[in-house]
Each structure stands twice: as C-alpha cells, then as structure tokens.
Chain A
Amino acid sequence: MENLELLVWAILGLPILGFLFQSFFGGSILRRLGDKAGKRVLGIFAVGPIVLSFVAGVMAMQAMVNTPAPQRSVVVTGPTWIDTLGIKVPFEFLLDPLSMTMVLIITGIGALIHLYATGYMAEDKDYPRFFSYLNLFVVAMLVLVLGNNLPLLFVGWEGVGLCSYLLIGFWYHDLENAKAANKAFIVNRIGDWGLTLGMFLIVVATMTTDFGKNIVDGRLLSYDNILPMLEIVLKNNPGLATAIGLLLFVGACGKSAQFPLYLWLPDAMAGPTPVSALIHAATMVTSGVVLLNRMHVVFEMSPIASGIIVIVGAFTAVFAALIAFGQTDIKKVLAYSTVSQLGFMFIACGAGAYWAGMFHVTTHAFFKALLFLGAGAVIHAMSHEQDMRHYGGLYKYLPITFGTMFIGWLAISGVPGLSGFFSKEAILGAALENKHALLSGYNVSVLAGWIGLFTALLTAFYMTRMTLMTFMGKPRWTDLPVAHHAHHDGDEHGHDEHSDDDHHHGLTGDHKPREVPFSMWFPLVVLAILSAGGGYLMHHHDVFYKWLYPNDLPILGKVEVHPHHLPFGLNLMALSITATVLGIGAGLAIYLKGLPAKEGWDESKWSKFRLAAAKQFGFDGGVVTAAVDGGGEFARGVASSLERGLVEGAGSVVTSVADGMGEGIRKVQTGYVRFYALVMVVGTLALSAYLIWGTLNGGKS
C-alpha cells in the first residue's frame, strides 16, 4: 500500500508542478523561444503532467483491482492544515473506487482536452495563462474528489469554482465575458453557502451525541470518522438527515447547475470551448453527483430529501431540454443539454441508485466532451462563428469531426448499444422501480421516471436538430456577404487583439472550412470510441456497480434498476428505444435537409415555442433582473440613504458626538495642536480625578 501512497502524491503533484511551471516560466519561455517553438514546449509541459497523472491513476487502479474489495479504501495522510483543539483538518486523501473513478475521468479526459487545447488555443497570445488555469483546475478537481474530509472537498469545490471563473472570463476584453464569470462565481457561492451550513450541521449532529466522543483525533469532518457515525446517529433522526441532506443538496445544485441555480452554466459558454468541454460538461459540473455519492448514507436515511432531489432533477431535466430547442448557438444547445443530463443524474441519486448517477457521470463525460470538442472543431473551422444558422452541409468539409460527432449524437440520444443507452436505462429503471424517494408518502421517483422517459425523447429530438443544422443540408454561410479581406488567423489584428477573437472573427460568404489538425481530431476519435463502447463495458455483468458498491448500500441494500411492475406490462427497454426512435425521427423529418433557405432563419414552423424557449420561458430574465439589477439598486439605495442617515443624521450617537465635538472645536478655531493638547489635558484631568477619588474611596473601605 506504500506504493499507493506514492501514487496519490504523483497524481496530485504532477498537475501542481505543471501549474507552477506555466505560471512562473510560461511567459519567459514564450518570449525566449519565440511564438511557435515556445508554444510547442509549453504545450508539452501542459499536457505531459496530466498524462503522467493519468498513468499514475491507472497504476493505482491496477493495484486497487488486485486487492480484495473490502480493503480497497486507503487513506493517505499528510501534514495538518487546520489545527485547533476543537477540530483538526489534515491534508488527507482517500483512494477508493469512487475517487478512483473520478481521478481517471479527470486526468484521462483532462489529458485529451489539454491536447485538444494546444491546437485550439494555438493562436492565442495568453497561451501560458490559459494552461496554468487549466492545470490548476485539474489540481482543484483532484483535491475535490480525493480529499478525505469535507473541508478538503470544499477546497477543491471552491478551487474549481475559481478556475471556472477565471476561464469563463479568459477573454476579458469583452465585458460580457467578465460579467458571465462573475455570475458563475456568485451563483456558485450561494450553493457553497448551503454546503458550508451542511458541514456545520454534520459537526453538530456528531458532536452533540455520545458518539462524538469516539472521535479522539479531532478530525470532526473526515469521512472515515463521520460516515459510520452518521449512519448510527441519523437512523433515529430522519429530520436531521433531511436537514443535512437538503443543505448538501443546495451545494450540489450550485455546482451541478440544477434549477434554479443552473443560471450560470449557459453563460459560462463564454469561455474557450475546451474549457466548456472539461469543466462545464465532463468534470466540474458533476461534483454535485460525486458529493451525493460520497454522502449517500445521509440521503439513504431521508426519503424527503431524496424526494426533493428527484423532483428538482426531473424538472431540471425536462426544463433544460425544452430550452435547448430555442438555442441557435451550438454551444448553448450543448450547455442546456448538459443541465438536462445532470438532471438525469440527480434523478438516479434521489431514487437511491447512486451508482447509476456515477455511471451516467462517466458515460456523459465521454459523449459530452466529444460533442463539445466537436462543436469546438466546427467553431474553429468556421472562423469562430457559433450560430448554427450559418452552418449547414459541413459533413463534406469536416469528415472526421462529422464522423465522431455522429457517434456522440447517437450516444446521447440513447441508441441501443452505445454508452448513453445503458446509463440512461439504469437511471429510468431505478426511478420507475424504487420506492425510496417519498414526498408526503407519495413515491415521486415513478413520476420522475416518466418525465425522464419523455426528456429522453426530447433529447434525441434537439440533438438531431443540432447535428442536422450543422452538418446536413446546404451550406448557408455562402449567403453571407463576402468580406473585403478575410482575416482568419488574426495576424492582421496586431498582437493585443489576439485574445478576444474567439467569436465573431467574421464568417464570410467565401469561407472555406478546413478539417482541424491532428491535435484536435485525435481526442475526438478516442472519445468517440469510448462513447460507443464504454457503456457496454461498464454495464456488462454489472461491472461498474460491483466496482463502486461491492457491499451494496448500508440501508437500501441492492437498488434494483430493472423495473418489473410497469403498467400494462410495458417493457422499459422497448419504451426507451421507442422514445429515441421518435425523437430522432421527428428531428429527421424537420431538419434532414437542413434549414430551408427562405422560410428558415427562425424555424418559423414553430417559432413561437422556439422564441419562448430561447428566453428560458422568462425565467432567466426574471431572476437575474431581480438579483443583479434589483440587488445593485438595493445596495446603492442602502448605501445612499440608510448609510448617510447613520453618518449624518442622529442615527449614531458616536458620530453625533464626534461631529459635535469637531464643530465645537472648529468654532473655537484653535488649530489642531491646541485642540489635541486640550483633549489630552481634559483626559488626564478626568483620569486623575477618578484615580484620586478611587484612592480616597479605597482608603475609606
């Protein structure tokens, strides 16, 4: 097991070294070696650590597979971080099947996306800044999943939020990007508030009982201390379990973009596309699901919290799927699709099938990273135009991108045999079969199952729309005016302009899309293979379930994912295949020829619905206006009225006294030094008087 210890430090340490290297030497390397050679060197040092970290992860996995299941959890302890008599928080890391799964996703897909980004960002002058943030993100995400206590999870939790903030606002010259970054950070902070309170309540729950005395080492928030204890404490106190569960779920909602805290994720698409793939699809946004898996004992104990999770997940899934129909920006479609898919994962967790949530985290990481990177390739090839209405017929120009995205499209649509099919099947099965999620006695997970089935149909439909609008039909950008001189690669812009050129390079009518370079299409191919075959491999013989939960759940036992009691003797697999076929069929029927050139720009056949969807059915406008504008107004109002009242009115005794004294002094016009002398004299006199009085008094008694 010493071997494992070393591997943990390697997994964490290599990306840290990468981050430090990019931060401290990136700029000077770029200056010294010149743009081309410098970027090649930096690229190697950006991708290298993540690849090596992945290799270390695979070795750790190997070692873990070779040990018997009960001994697969290893804690590696470093120095103590927070160190008081009341609580101790060491830097300690937990290697177990759950964290191992996430490590492989983070470093594996992370390495592919880093490689992709060396191509995607090749023209950006802020190359080292980008990769230092991206490496730092990997570090934070690894700390999040590997940390053996909740504060350490929180370090990663806020750390990934920070990196997300920095990368959304990466092209900061556009103020809109900076605002989107702020929105992401602040909305996430609301979630963090819930998570923090959840942690505090866990401390209270364990410390106020006799069991708390068993924690002799002061590690009040370490998993190996609290999880067994919570299992005992919460058994007799479902109300407490519900309170803790809901507070943790608030945190999960923020990071994993569940209603109503999903608001930041679509705006987060302002960041470079590799960021969207890595952070806002494959890894960071799944942190909430990881948290629910890690703390599953709490949720197992609370049918009410589980019920709320199921309802929020189901509503988010269908709501975001509907909004996706209204999007014309290819990345926004994928963003809402991500929100929707995250909803599926929460349905699974609420229904008690935590492993199915993780299963979908994994398969979704494959196909959503693929789709985002594919979209990035299209954007790259189309002079940074993101509006699908200007695409069309791209299959001819981008054969590899089309081929791989085709697989991604089928995988997310739930075509049997591909990865999305298996994980979605497990989620819907668990929702329809289990009776864990109860709200006032009503089993809400069945409802969520049917909503999920309907959402699966919608998913197939809008993904078909996206794929066909992009790749099929006739090229539509040719209708655009021809530019005087096309400036694709930005050289004419001068150096300073380089970095804000992600979108609106200006797609012109005479544009000729070219297939992307190797560094970009290679990750697409690998991800396409995983999207196609990964699901079956994990589904086969319940490999994934037995890996994550070899002993079943402590309270719920083995959670069934094959429904036996559907009405009318229906069969889930038949139902979901029907949904997929209907969704894809509807999409094909409308969009097979791409957008008809004349009536098409606003898809007028159903434009009313589409326009409403584009505006998120009024929700984003409402909440954001209320929070940002109203909040700003409110703050300024308080600042000007109440605060002025406090300062200038009689609101504050001290201020009045102070100003009064100042006024008095000014009238006397003594000058400062004399005033000060006066005050000192008065003060000294007062002190002396008291002292003398005191001495006399003291003498008497």
Chain B
Amino acid sequence: MIESGSKILSAIIWFPFIGALILMLLPKTVAKFAKPMALGVSLVTLLGAFQLVQTFKAGTFHFQFGERFDWMPALGISYSVGLDGMSLWMFALTALLGVFAVLVGDSKVERPASFFALILALETTMLGVFAALDLVLFYTFFELSLAPVALLILGWGSQGSEVEARKKASIRYFAALFAGSILMLVGIVLLSQLQLQASGKLSFHLLDIQASVANGTLWAKAMGLQAPIFWAFALAFLVKSPGVPFHSWLTSTYRHAPIAALVGGVVIKLGTYGLFRFCLPLFPDVIGTAVPTLMLIGAVGIIYGGIVAAGQQGANKLMAFATVSHVGFVVVGLFSLTSNGVAGAAFQQFNLGLVGAATFVLLSFLYQRKGTQDLSSFGALKRQMPYFATLFLLVMLANVGLPGTSGFVGEFLALMGAFQASVEGINGLQVGVAAIAGFGVVLSAVYMLYMFQKLFYGKAEEGSEPIKDLTAGELVTGGILVGLLIVFGIAPGRVQRDMDVSLQATRLMAINAVNERPIWAELDHEITSGENALAPGSLVILEDRAIATVGARQVDGSLISAPKLHPTQKDLERAVEQNELQATSEGADSTQ
C-alpha cells in the first residue's frame, strides 16, 4: 500500500466535522454564535471545494486529488479518497448546499449548538460519500450520514407535531435506509473476497476491484454471484434514491420541514450517485439483463410519483412525490446505457440537488411564517408576497423542466437516451417505456401548476392574517439559489464537460467486452498540473465520437493522441503535443 497525494481533499471533508466538535464543546453562553460559526465553517468548506473545481483537470476519467493510506491493513481496508469529474461536482454541490442548510436554519431553535453541529457533521459524511474510493470507507460514510438526519428529525422535526410522531419518523428514516443497505455490506465483503481470489491480495479499494472487473478476472470464477451482488447494491441505492416502491420513508421525512431542504437537496443524491459509481462499472455481465427492470422502476417512478403528487394537499408531501418522479428520470437515463442518457442522468442528478434545495428553502420560508404546509390554508400570496412569488415561479419552472432552467438539460438528455435505447431495442427495451416516461413532463406541469395556483392565486383563507414578504436576507438566500438554477440552465457546459469523460468511461465499463473496458487510475495531481496534464491511459474522444485511451494503438497502427472534441481545453492541447513526443520517443512501450 502506498501513501500518496496532498491532503487537501481530506482537509475539506473533515473540516465541517471539526467545526461540529468545536460547536459541541462550546459553553452554553455563546450558543447565540452557533449559527455564524457554523456559517463560517461551511463557507470555508465551500471555498475549498471551489478550489478543487478550479484545479480539476477535465479530459480524463481518472481520479484526482487522490489520497490513500492503510487503515486496517490486515483486512485490506484503506482510507482512500479521490474525485473524478462526476463526483467532483456532486462534492462541490454538497459544499454549496451545506452553506444554505446553515443559512436557512433558524438561529432561535432550542439547543442551537447541537442543531448546527449536526448539520455540519452531516456535511462531512456526505462529502465523504462522494469522495470515498474504498468500499468500506464508502459504506461507513453512507451509514453515518443517516445518524445526523435521524437526530435532526427527532430533535427539531416539525414544530407542531408530537414528539411521538417525530420519533416514529426518525426511526422510520433510520431503519428503512439501514435495512436497505445492510445487504450492500454483504455485497461489499463478497466483492473483496472475489478480489482476493482474482489478484491474491485482499482489497476493498474501488480501483483495485474495478481493474479486476475490467480484465475479467474478478467474475471469472463466480459468475453466479454477479447478479445477487449487483442487486444488493442496486437495492440499497434504490431505497435511498428513492425508487418506487421504496419511497415511503421520504414522505414522512419531508413532513419535517426544518431539514427537508438538506435532505431534498443532497442526501437522496447519495442513492443515485451509488448507482453511477458502483452498479454501472462493476457488473458488466449482468447489467444488460437488469436494465429492463431498472428502466421500468424508473418509468413507473416518474409516472406514479407525478400522479400521486397531483393528489396531495401538503406542500412538502407534494414535493416528496415530485422528487420520486424526478429521480425516475435519473434512473431511466442512467440505465439506458447510452451516451446521451448517462450524460443527462448525471446532470439531472446535479440539478435535482439544486432544485430540491431551492424548492425546500422557499417552502421553509413559508412554513416559518404560517406553521403549516397545508396548501388549502394558503391563497392569494402573489398579492401579499410579490418577491416570494417571483422566486417561487422560477423554482416551479425549474421543477417543470422548462428550457433555460437547469431542470431541462438533464431531463431532456436522459429521455433522449432512454428513447434511443428503446427504439433500437437495446437489452430488450420497449419504445413504450420511454414514451410513457416522457409523459412525466406533462404530469410535472400538472402538479406544480396546481401547487402554484393554490399558493398564489385565488383568495386567502377567511380571517387569516396577511403574510409578510421575504426579508432582505431571505431574498438574497433564495435569490442566489434560484439564480443558480438559471445559470446552470443557460450555461451547463462547464459541469457537463468536467463530468463527461468520467461518465463515458463508466458507461464503457458497463457495455464493453473484457479488455476493452477502461481502467480507473489515480492521476497524480502534482504532475498533472504541470506540462504532462494528459497522461497515457487517459481517455480521449476520437472524431467519430468513439472513446479511446491515450497511447493505445488504433486499428491502422497509428497512436491515439489527440482529443479532437475538446478544443476549449488549452491544457489538453499542450498535453497532447507532449504525449506525441513521448509516444514517438518511447515507441511501442508507450501503451503503458
């Protein structure tokens, strides 16, 4: 085992946790500073994440900012973290939404220090999930993220409700997700055993395991295990996502408004992220047969979530089912296994974080004013709260997936991918599935417009007091989130370019034959930030949009060197020249 890498990634992951510890240790007299302190911590974390985004090298699918040292060497467990294009943006999103989770947290809650400490602790666990490269480390973060949410529901769940009700919701949340992922633990252990068989070395490291999958040794003697382990992973992530019919925990969680923003924003993206990170690259021999089922789960989720959302009376419950519907697009795009579908699913996952956070932050403003989420007790808010109405209109449009908002890009590409796969009948898919899934865009208009009308039009409830419009602080908070929805709707290119090569490589891991599957590696960032930015082994895109590995030989014998479709990346061009020189000087050995 090697130790490598700068410690910047770990520093960012653990910084909120250290902040949380300090908050807990502070005397009660300074509790009123809990919120500003927590805000400071989350802002520093965000700055760190922003730094990562700035220094990240696009154009390769390898992991960057990697760190790896032995944790329990006897068991093959290591502390390994690193980011590729896809996890980078989920990581950054988590850091961003951490700030907003603190911002909208009410500083007048009971025990503010604990409240904000839990939010910061949650942030660390989620950052950890997106960065973890060791399966045990991943599982640890994945499960640990349950605790802060469960405790937040229990201690600070919706103010009006009984302790008993909060307790029930808290336990349901914890138990449902814990039960859902326990099988995954078995799967993880089995994978490490197979890895031991294949390579003679016990390891839980994702990169080691994936390499064995890619060269075919991992599953060679255990084909029969592949399907059960796949489903163990898929089940855990589908419960978390949530896919129908595993969604019931979500509605009871969302009823508890104070933390809904955070849960709606990021927590559930851990589920779809898991599908990307593990289900796609590690099970190439069974994924094809699982695709029809998974696509069905996605399509049913879109339609079922949409229909049930339209029948809801509570704003948060409505949004819970809307989330179920939105997540369906991710699943459908992802398991189309087409280039467009996967790209769309990844962007939709990113977008859902933003849009979910924005929606629930705005709803929490409403909840703080009126103490209820029942749509029938609102009305005519447009007159009373014109600024709030404008922000909510934009959030509604992003939920509906209107072009120009970030909601459109992912949905559109995911559906396109699903449609392509089903028209071509890949993996026995039916056209109907994609066409029906597409009808989700009609349903989203139905339930969102219904909610908008209930809140803002018509008449206010008899005898109800007028509601005040947003304060300046709330306007800025909501305005930034809503602004981001527009920014990423008009200019999604940066996120897409960073993510793309990672996504396509992951997709090829799923669909290519043995020895044609890309193999993950860690990119030494100390070197990549210099001249040799694109190391041999990196992924490039050829003119016919096939993907190949730098340094490998093409059919006609020429060396693959030039990424033709990334003209915007100056680094890349320089690196390619470098590569050509290197390739000619090293001759045939350059494939290494």
User: A: which residues have CB within 8 A of B?
Assistant: 79-87, 151, 154-155, 158-159, 162, 169, 172-173, 175, 178-179, 182, 185-186, 189-190, 192-193, 196-197, 199-201, 203-204, 207-208, 213, 216, 218, 496, 631-632, 634-640, 642-643, 646-647, 651-652, 654-655, 657-659, 661-662, 665-666, 672, 675-676, 679, 683, 686-687, 690-691, 693-695, 697-698, 701
**Cβ-defined contact, A162 with B415, below 8 A:** no
A154 to B415, CA, bound (A): 15
Minimum CB–CB distance for A81 against chain B, Å: 7
Interface size class of B (residues with CB under 8 A): 35 or more
**Cβ-defined contact, B413 with A87, below 8 A:** yes
Kindly list 14 other residue pairs between chains A and B, CB separation below 8 angstroms, not including A86-B413, A190-B442, A655-B249.
Answer: A83-B493, A85-B504, A86-B338, A172-B456, A179-B453, A196-B441, A197-B419, A204-B420, A635-B310, A646-B248, A654-B239, A658-B172, A672-B170, A676-B174
**Cβ-defined contact, B565 with A635, below 8 A:** no
Cross-chain contact of A662 among B168, B343, B416, B441 (Cβ < 8 A): B168
Q: Which residues of A contact B69 (CB under 8 A)?
A: none
Q: Do A162 and B397 form a contact, CB below 8 Å, given A654-B179, A658-B172?
A: yes
Q: Do A655 and B500 form a contact, CB below 8 Å, given A154-B403, A196-B415, A662-B172?
A: no
9-residue interface stretch from B25-33, B184-192, B358-366? B184-192
Q: Which residues of B contact A652 (CB under 8 A)?
A: 245-246, 248
Those 5 A-B pairs whose CB atoms lie nearest each other, nearest first = A639-B311, A635-B311, A86-B339, A658-B176, A662-B171
**Cβ-defined contact, A85 with B178, below 8 A:** no
A642 to B419, CA, bound (A): 29
Q: Which residue of B lies closest to A186 (CB)?
A: B445
Query: B219-233: which residues lie under 8 A (CB-CB) from chain A?
Result: none
**Cβ-defined contact, B402 with A658, below 8 A:** no
**Cβ-defined contact, A201 with B423, below 8 A:** yes
Q: Is B206 an interface residue (CB 8 A)?
A: no
* B164-184 near A? 1/0 per residue, CB < 8 Å: 000110111011101110100
**Cβ-defined contact, A84 with B339, below 8 A:** yes
Q: Is B370 an interface residue (CB 8 A)?
A: no
**Cβ-defined contact, A186 with B446, below 8 A:** yes
A169 to B449, CA, bound (A): 12
Q: Which residues of A contact B434 (CB under 8 A)?
A: 200
User: B: which residues have CB within 8 A of A?
Assistant: 74-75, 77, 136, 143, 147, 150-151, 154, 167-168, 170-172, 174-176, 178-180, 182, 185-186, 189, 192-193, 196-197, 202, 239, 245-246, 248-249, 251, 304, 307-312, 338-340, 343, 380, 382-383, 397, 402-404, 409, 412-413, 415-416, 419-420, 423-424, 434-435, 438-439, 441-442, 445-446, 449-450, 453, 456-459, 490-493, 496-497, 500-501, 504, 541, 543-545, 547, 565
**Cβ-defined contact, A654 with B249, below 8 A:** yes
Minimum CB–CB distance for B472 against chain A, Å: 15
A197 to B419, CA, bound (A): 8
**Cβ-defined contact, B171 with A197, below 8 A:** no
**Cβ-defined contact, A657 with B445, below 8 A:** no
**Cβ-defined contact, A691 with B75, below 8 A:** yes
Chain A contact residues: helix, strand, loop or mixed: helix
**Cβ-defined contact, A697 with B193, below 8 A:** yes
**Cβ-defined contact, A158 with B424, below 8 A:** no
A185 to B397, CA, bound (A): 12
Q: Which of B179, B492, B500 has the most CB of A within 10 A?
A: B179
Q: Which residues of A contact B312 (CB under 8 A)?
A: 639
Minimum CB–CB distance for A675 against chain B, Å: 7
A179 to B185, CA, bound (A): 51
**Cβ-defined contact, B412 with A196, below 8 A:** yes
Q: Which residues of B contact A634 (CB under 8 A)?
A: 307, 311
A201 to B172, CA, bound (A): 44
Q: Which of A85, A201, A638 has the most CB of B within 10 A?
A: A85
A639 to B314, CA, bound (A): 12
Q: Which residue of B lies closest to A162 (CB)?
A: B402
12 A–B contacts, CB within 8 A, in A order: A82-B413, A82-B492, A84-B343, A86-B340, A178-B457, A189-B445, A632-B310, A634-B307, A635-B311, A638-B307, A658-B171, A695-B75
Q: Which residues of B contact A83 (CB under 8 A)?
A: 492-493, 496-497
**Cβ-defined contact, B419 with A201, below 8 A:** yes
**Cβ-defined contact, B193 with A698, below 8 A:** yes
Q: Which residues of A contact B248 (CB under 8 A)?
A: 646-647, 652, 654-655
A185 to B493, CA, bound (A): 29
**Cβ-defined contact, B404 with A155, below 8 A:** yes
Cross-chain contact of B457 among A172, A186, A690 (Cβ < 8 A): A172
**Cβ-defined contact, B438 with A193, below 8 A:** yes
A351 to B305, CA, bound (A): 42
Minimum CB–CB distance for A309 against chain B, Å: 21
Minimum CB–CB distance for B420 against chain A, Å: 5
**Cβ-defined contact, A639 with B338, below 8 A:** no
A218 to B310, CA, bound (A): 38
Q: Which residues of B contact A691 (CB under 8 A)?
A: 75, 77, 189
Cross-chain contact of A679 among B178, B251, B441, B565 (Cβ < 8 A): B178
**Cβ-defined contact, A695 with B202, below 8 A:** yes
**Cβ-defined contact, B435 with A631, below 8 A:** no
A172 to B491, CA, bound (A): 33
A339 to B306, CA, bound (A): 31
**Cβ-defined contact, B453 with A173, below 8 A:** no
Q: Which residues of B contact A190 (CB under 8 A)?
A: 442
Q: Do A185 and B311 form a contact, CB below 8 Å, given A173-B383, A658-B176, A691-B75?
A: no
Q: Which residues of A contact B457 (CB under 8 A)?
A: 169, 172-173, 175, 178
A643 to B497, CA, bound (A): 40
**Cβ-defined contact, A675 with B171, below 8 A:** yes
Q: Which residues of A contact B75 (CB under 8 A)?
A: 691, 694-695
**Cβ-defined contact, A193 with B543, below 8 A:** no
Q: Which residues of B contact A200 (CB under 8 A)?
A: 415-416, 419-420, 423, 434
Q: Which residue of B lies closest to A698 (CB)?
A: B196
**Cβ-defined contact, B175 with A657, below 8 A:** yes
Q: Which residues of A contact B383 (CB under 8 A)?
A: 173, 496
Minimum CB–CB distance for B523 against chain A, Å: 19
Q: Do A694 and B193 form a contact, CB below 8 Å, given A85-B343, A190-B442, A654-B180?
A: yes
